[in-house]
């Protein structure tokens, strides 16, 4: 394969499709759909890929909005991930419309630029990222088993190839006490809200013993009904985040101990619900990331000099990165606008938002072409993933 010619063809193809890529960003923005409800969004993306000659499997992994679109045969098999869910009330405030448009743009360019027997290009429509469900269900269903590499872009305020993401566990605590009139018979009550409040106090004391990069944050989901009744039931919901799954597990045990101590102090019964869907931290692959950076340089684009370990969130792409070499670079949609805000949603449909989708499409397709052209690069990335690189 003539890689120089393929790269030229890809940049020309994506440039020619700029209008269509921007149209995807805008259309998804117009009808934002939350996790597992992305019916129109998934259909829009899958229909485009089907028209472009991809083989479509819709409703995979037990989710109506998950899909797989495949083109070509042979090795390597490269997955390009298309998130598409929005947030309640604030719409595409995480910019998954940009992600989906970049994924479709990249896949369509590769389909036209590469010979059919050069590689297998697979677009995975991955629903419900915000709920931390989609990719985990797809891993469980074996959707990543026959693939070699996974890639996607995510919009951000900065152009950043390497960015860490934290592991995340979710825990719900429910305290059960005894109802009583708060003024007339307080001695007969057992205050479930005390259990919740002492859990927060215990965790706040625990913070002194936690590593700087650990995050524990929670809300009270039930705190009683009226002030003149001792609450017989109260509940809270916590996220525990850290940069390794071991640390997540260790901190989670300490947090549970805080709730148990609080229940004992308040005289309450406690139930602990741990969400079995634990988000894994992103496993960084430097060789793979460097390959993407080289494509940015090829396009004349400069990366932000931002630290990779600041302002970290979590995503189910972390779980994918534990089973396959993965990249998740950020494409810039506007200086100073941060995800999960209305301003961020608006920025996705600005000129910069739409050009970020085009940039993502180009850089992903160029990276994939390099992987196809070079068995040596593939081996280097795989060795790093296996820990022998």
**Nearer CB in complex with Zn ion: 156/367:** 156
* Phi/psi at 171 (5° precision): -135, 135
Pair 96, 129: CB distance under 8 Å? yes
**How far apart are alpha carbons 172 and 220 in whole angstroms?**
10
**Nearer CB in complex with Zn ion: 94/164:** 94
**Nearer CB in complex with Zn ion: 67/344:** 344
CB of 63 to Zn ion, least distance (A): 17
> Based on C-alpha coordinates, what's the Rg of the chain?
23
CB of 95 to Zn ion, least distance (A): 7
**Nearer CB in complex with Zn ion: 193/279:** 279
Pair 220, 196: CB distance under 8 Å? yes
CB of 259 to Zn ion, least distance (A): 27
CB of 317 to Zn ion, least distance (A): 9
CB of 167 to Zn ion, least distance (A): 16
Helices 96-113 & 39-51 angle (0-180, nearest 10): 10
**Nearer CB in complex with Zn ion: 111/154:** 154
Segment interacting with Zn ion (CB under 5 A) among 91-99, 217-225, 292-300, 329-337: 91-99
**Nearer CB in complex with Zn ion: 94/363:** 94
CB of 99 to Zn ion, least distance (A): 7
Segment interacting with Zn ion (CB under 5 A) among 87-95, 138-146, 189-197, 301-309: 87-95
Segment interacting with Zn ion (CB under 5 A) among 17-25, 52-60, 90-98, 356-364: 90-98
- Asked if 94 touches Zn ion (CB under 5 A), the answer is yes
Residue with nearest beta carbon to Zn ion: 94
Segment interacting with Zn ion (CB under 5 A) among 73-81, 93-101, 224-232, 351-359: 93-101
CB of 268 to Zn ion, least distance (A): 34
**Measured CA angle at 324 (ends 152, 119), to 5 deg:** 70
Q: Catalogue the long-range contacts made by 289-295 (C-beta closer than 8 Å, 24 or more residues apart).
A: 289/161, 289/162, 289/327, 289/329, 291/367, 291/370, 291/371, 291/377, 291/381, 292/151, 292/161, 292/327, 292/329, 292/363, 292/364, 292/367, 293/161, 294/370, 295/362, 295/363, 295/366, 295/367, 295/370
Size of the site for Zn ion (CB under 5 A): 1
**Nearer CB in complex with Zn ion: 248/317:** 317
**Measured CA angle at 273 (ends 193, 249), to 5 deg:** 110
Pair 319, 280: CB distance under 8 Å? yes
**Nearer CB in complex with Zn ion: 111/170:** 170
Structure tokens at 333: 């949609």
Segment interacting with Zn ion (CB under 5 A) among 3-11, 48-56, 89-97, 225-233: 89-97
Binding to Zn ion (CB under 5 A) within 247-306 occurs at none
Pair 328, 144: CB distance under 8 Å? no
CB of 172 to Zn ion, least distance (A): 21
Pair 346, 290: CB distance under 8 Å? no
CB of 97 to Zn ion, least distance (A): 11
User: First-to-last CA distance in the chain?
Assistant: 26
Cα dihedral value 12, 14, 18, 19, nearest 10: 100
**Nearer CB in complex with Zn ion: 7/159:** 159
Catalog residues that contact Zn ion under the rule CB under 5 A: 94
């Amino acid at each position: 394969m003539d890689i120089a010619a393929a790269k030229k063809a890809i940049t020309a193809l994506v440039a020619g499709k700029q209008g269509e890529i921007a149209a995807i960003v805008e259309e998804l923005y117009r009808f934002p759909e939350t996790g597992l409800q992305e019916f129109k969004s998934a259909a829009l993306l899958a229909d485009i890929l089907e028209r472009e000659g991809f083989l479509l499997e819709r409703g995979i992994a037990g989710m109506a909005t998950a899909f797989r679109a495949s083109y070509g045969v042979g090795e390597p098999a490269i997955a390009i991930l298309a998130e598409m869910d929005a947030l309640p009330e604030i719409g595409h405030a995480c910019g998954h419309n940009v992600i989906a448009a970049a994924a479709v743009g990249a896949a369509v360019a590769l389909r036209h630029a590469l010979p059919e027997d050069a590689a297998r290009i697979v677009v995975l429509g991955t629903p419900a990222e915000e709920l931390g469900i989609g990719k985990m269900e797809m891993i469980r269903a074996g959707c990543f088993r026959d693939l070699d590499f996974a890639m996607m872009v995510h919009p951000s305020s900065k152009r950043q190839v390497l960015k860490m993401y934290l592991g995340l566990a979710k825990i719900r605590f429910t305290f059960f006490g005894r109802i009583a009139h708060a003024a007339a018979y307080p001695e007969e009550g057992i205050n479930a809200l005390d259990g919740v409040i002492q859990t927060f106090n215990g965790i706040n004391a625990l913070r002194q013993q936690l590593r700087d990069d650990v995050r524990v944050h929670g809300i009270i989901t039930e705190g009683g009904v009226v002030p003149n009744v001792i609450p017989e039931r109260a509940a809270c919901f916590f996220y525990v985040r850290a940069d390794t799954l071991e640390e997540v597990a260790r901190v989670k045990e300490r947090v549970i101990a805080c709730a148990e101590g609080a229940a004992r102090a308040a005289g309450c019964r406690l139930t602990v619900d741990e969400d079995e869907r634990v988000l894994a931290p992103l496993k960084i692959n430097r060789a793979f990331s460097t390959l993407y950076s080289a494509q940015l340089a090829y396009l004349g684009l400069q990366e932000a000099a931002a630290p990779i370990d600041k302002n970290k969130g979590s995503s189910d792409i972390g779980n994918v990165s534990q089973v396959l070499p993965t990249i998740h670079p950020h494409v810039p949609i506007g200086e100073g606008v941060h995800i999960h805000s209305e301003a961020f949603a608006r920025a996705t449909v600005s000129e910069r938002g739409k050009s970020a989708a085009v940039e993502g499409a180009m850089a992903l397709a160029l990276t994939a072409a390099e992987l196809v052209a070079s068995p040596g690069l593939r081996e280097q990335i795989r060795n790093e993933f296996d820990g022998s690189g």
